[in-house]
Every structure is written in structure tokens, then in C-alpha cells.
Amino acid sequence: MEQDVIRSVEIDEAGRLHVVPSSHSFPYVYREAMEVHWDEQRKSLYSPPPREWSYARWFQQIVLVAREQGCVLVLAANTTWRGVSSDLQRQFSEVAIH
């Protein structure tokens, strides 16, 4: 299975969580039927705004769907964060480890 570093993580103005891989793209991610989508312009996997699930659970879902597509997404020291609190960053880091 391939591995890709997460370039950035962002919560946009609509409340969607975006995860931008460094090199992979996932145009067919909708086939996994996991409510995660690919934004071709942003080059990101994204979730709907949280309803019942937390941002941490959506981050986990995004990582899982990438794995279903044959890629392990990993956080790195140089991952950039936009609109993501330090508490959420910590939660995402814990989710990414498991």
C-alpha cells in the first residue's frame, strides 16, 4: 500500500473538513460510499459539515476512505493547519496513529 503525507488540513467557511494529500488524488472516492468526496480544485478529500460525528471522527473517516483507495495518509511535522484549533490538531494526531 502506498503512503502519502498530508500537506494540509482545513475547516472551510461552510464547516467542511478538507485533507490535502501531497501527491495522491482520489477522483473516484465516491465509489466507497462513505460520504467523503474529492474536490478537484482544492485537491482535497472533504467531509460534509459535522452533524452527528465530530471533526475527529470525520478525519478518521477520510483516512479510512483513502486506505480503501490504496493509500495511507499520514500527518507530518510540516502539515499546515487552517481553521483547526490546537485541540482538534491533537485529536487528529491521535486518530491518525490508530
Range of the domain at 13: 2-97
The residue among 68, 54, 58 whose CA lies nearest residue 26 is: 68
How far apart, in Å, are the Cα atoms of 3 and each of 58, 67, 76? 20, 9, 12
Convert the pLDDT of each residue in 19-64 to its tens digit.
Answer: 999 999 999 999 999 999 999 999 999 999 999 999 999 999 999 9
Q: Is the pTM of this model over 0.75?
A: yes
Number of structural domains (the chain) is: 1
First to last CA, the chain: 16
Specify the CATH number for the domain of residue 24: 2.20.20.40
